[in-house]
Amino acid sequence: MKQFLGVLRYEYRMSIKRRSILITAFIFSAYYIFMWMTNEYHFDLAEGIANPLFAQAGQNVFGLNLFFPVVVGIAASDRAIRDFKLGTRELLRATDLRNSTYVLGKYFGVVLSFVTLEFVIVFFVSIFIVIKMHWSALFILYNLLSVLLISTPGLCFIIAFSLLCPLFMPLRVYQILFTGYWYWGNFISPTVMITLSDTVLNASGEFPMTAFLGVMVSADSPEVTQAKAIANILTLLLVAALALTGMTAYINKTEKRAA
Amino acid sequence: MKNNSRPSANLNSKYTFQAFQKDQFWLPAAIMALFMIIAVFINEANRFNTFRAFLGFTLPLICGGLSAYAFLEDTALELQFTTSRSTWKMIFERLSIIALVITLTALVFQVYAYLIGVDLSLLGGLLARQLIWAAPSLAMLAFGASVSLLARSSPGGFAFVGGFWTLQLFMRGWFANSPVLRNVLLFYSAMDPNTHAAAVNQLSLVWIFVLLLLATHNLLKKTERYI
């Protein structure tokens, strides 16, 4: 546990201090606020929803979630491979740190760093909106809860693959494929081409937003039951766990071969 | 006198070809192959859109992604900086190979469209059609290179390029509706081909390419930033 927390703490600090990523995230967020204020990102609300303010917060976070995971997926993709490139991995191998502890510590360090970043962005965005629109301060709390409900499962899913895939494919190949995947796999209509967007592997957060908050991306969006939204979240977390297991197995195998 | 001068290096595309990032050759081809397969299996109504999506939307992303990694991932970068080769030559070596691969990919894809009977004339005549992918790809080529040099990090640079591409993709309608902002929309000429506005958009993207190329040159000259 001590080793796990040590890796997590170290990775968290390394990941959150990257100036270029922070600047990129904040520039796009500022742009998003501008768009939100000019009424470009308002979706349809289902009839008779219980909490309209929570629904507004949900669509606020979902709007940010259209592009924020792209920055996260790209930024997270060099977190594991850089240890191999810089020789840090060899140094760690000389210690009694287990590979599974290393993978878990790294994963949760990266996830927490980006969730923190999103919390900070959403916090400031929601304060701005509360002041501008004279809404209740509860809106800020609803926004932070929406991050946990809408964004976090998707971030857990994409970060697991962003750590795993660059171990066996060139980094920029993964990053380009990932950028294309984000749009294809989550937002293209299944009537246009084969896509993951209507399956439980959709990582955009649309399912929980529609099922729990009553916000629909478009008027013809399919109805999503709460059971399907829960299945969506659980599937994303399960697949992320499988990816991390695969990553541990891959590192074990390559190190055994090297020895 | 001769011994004190820095070693010279001629235009050395062979070095870039042989020692540096093979994926810049196979990645565009692999993604093209994927689109070729999709084009066969997709329904008739969306087949043209598949070709338009690859040429007008996907190629600029690949171009930006490859160029973001064109300079800083070179393990012999410091050695390169010690030679007397001009900055323009280095930029030309790295970016021209990417541009060449993208051009070949686009041309092969259009030949494939012809072979399977997809009519691309909606995108304009043979030459006008080339501007639909060439103008945004050039802009992204210089954008990827300059942003990664500005960030002093290839992943950081590509995070910005990828975020920018995604943002434009989601908000293409909003950009396209603005008479000013549509000139910086990468996908405008693919969305609204054969119009005066598309020609203005292409011209402005080429100007953006030139300006960003100058920025890349200025950034790359400051060699101490990357050591």
Strands A44-45 and A215-216 come out as antiparallel
Q: How far does the CA of residue B202 sit from the closest CA of chain A (Å)?
A: 23
In this predicted structure, the answer to whether residue B84 has a pLDDT above a threshold of 50 is: yes
Chain B partners within 8 Å of A66 (Cβ)? 166, 170
pLDDT for A220 equals 67
Are A147 and A115 within 8 A, CB to CB?
Answer: yes
Question: Which of B38, B152, B160 faces A193 most closely, judged by CB atoms?
Answer: B38
In this predicted structure, the answer to whether residue B98 has a pLDDT above a threshold of 50 is: yes
Radius of gyration of chain A (CA): 19
Let me know the angle formed at the C-alpha of B107 by B158 and B29, rounded to the nearest 5 degrees: 50
Q: How far does the CA of residue B143 sit from the closest CA of chain A (Å)?
A: 14
Contact B155 A35 (CB under 8 A): no
> How far apart are the C-alpha atoms of A155 and B198, rounded to whole Å?
37
Evaluated on CA atoms A235, A236, A241, A242, the torsion sign reads positive
pLDDT for B226 equals 81
The DSSP code sequence of A152-168 is HHHHHHHHHHHHHGGGT
List chain A domain ranges. Answer: 2-7+49-258
pLDDT in tens, A106-115: 999 999 999 9
How many CB atoms sit inside 10 A of residue A43's CB? 19
In this predicted structure, the answer to whether residue B3 has a pLDDT above a threshold of 70 is: no
Question: Which of A78, A179, A192 faces B166 most closely, judged by CB atoms?
Answer: A179
Q: What is the ipTM of this complex?
A: 0.77
Which SS3 state, helix, strand or coil, does residue A225 take?
coil
> How far apart are the C-alpha atoms of A54 and A223, rounded to whole Å?
19
pLDDT for B1 equals 43
Question: Which of A27, A171, A179 faces B61 most closely, judged by CB atoms?
Answer: A179
Question: Which of A74, A170, A178 faces B23 most closely, judged by CB atoms?
Answer: A170
Average pLDDT, chain A: 86
pLDDT for B61 equals 93
Are A187 and A204 within 8 A, CB to CB?
Answer: yes
Nearest Cα neighbor of B217 from B96, B69, B88 is B88
> How far apart are the C-alpha atoms of A228 and A221, rounded to whole Å?
14
pLDDT for A32 equals 73
Are B73 and B157 within 8 A, CB to CB?
Answer: no
Q: How far does the CA of residue B155 sit from the closest CA of chain A (Å)?
A: 6
Chain B residue with the nearest C-alpha to that of A76: B155
pLDDT in tens, A216-232: 877 667 778 899 999 99
pLDDT for B17 equals 62
pLDDT for B2 equals 46
Cα dihedral: A147, A149, A150, A154 (round 10) = 100
Q: Band of the pLDDT at A44, cuts 50, 70, 90? A: low
> How far apart are the C-alpha atoms of A259 and A252, rounded to whole Å?
11
Nearest Cα neighbor of A173 from B181, B163, B27, B200 is B27
Mean pLDDT of B72-89: 81
> How far apart are the C-alpha atoms of A86 and A74, rounded to whole Å?
19
Higher pLDDT, A79 or B9: A79
Interface test with A, best of B105, B158, B168, B225 (most A CBs within 10 A): B158
Nearest Cα neighbor of A178 from A80, A93, A75 is A75
Mean pLDDT of A10-37: 80
Chain A partners within 8 Å of B169 (Cβ)? 183
> How far apart are the C-alpha atoms of A121 and A5, rounded to whole Å?
26
Q: How far does the CA of residue B173 sit from the closest CA of chain A (Å)?
A: 10
Question: Which of B49, B68, B163 faces A71 most closely, judged by CB atoms?
Answer: B163
pLDDT for B218 equals 94
Q: At what angle are helices B126-151 and B154-170 packed, to 10 degrees?
A: 130
Amino acid identity at B121: S
Q: Could you tell me which residues come within 8 angstroms of residue B163 by beta carbon, excluding any fewer than 6 positions away?
A: A24, A28, A67, A70, A71, A74
Dihedrals phi, psi of A45, to nearest 5 degrees: -100, 140
pLDDT for B109 equals 95
Q: Which of A194-203, B21-30, B47-56, B169-178 has the lowest average pLDDT?
A: B21-30
Distances from the Cα of A232 to the Cα of A54, A102, A157, angstroms? 20, 28, 11
Q: How far does the CA of residue A1 sit from the closest CA of chain B (Å)?
A: 31
pLDDT for B20 equals 61
> How far apart are the C-alpha atoms of A104 and B34, rounded to whole Å?
34
Max avg pLDDT among A35-44, A187-196, B51-60: B51-60
In this predicted structure, the answer to whether residue A47 has a pLDDT above a threshold of 80 is: no
pLDDT in tens, B106-162: 999 999 999 998 888 889 888 999 999 999 999 999 999 999 999 888 888 888 898
Mean pLDDT of B200-222: 95
pLDDT for B73 equals 81
Distances from the Cα of B195 to the Cα of A132, B124, B130, B198, B201, angstroms? 40, 10, 15, 5, 10
pLDDT in tens, A131-183: 888 888 999 999 999 999 999 999 999 999 999 999 988 888 898 899 889 98
pLDDT for A144 equals 93
Higher pLDDT, B81 or B52: B52
Q: Could you tell me which residues come within 8 angstroms of residue A169 by beta carbon, excluding any fewer than 6 positions away?
A: none
pLDDT for A28 equals 77
Q: At what angle are helices B196-221 and B126-151 packed, to 10 degrees?
A: 30
Nearest Cα neighbor of A243 from A146, A183, A160, A122 is A160
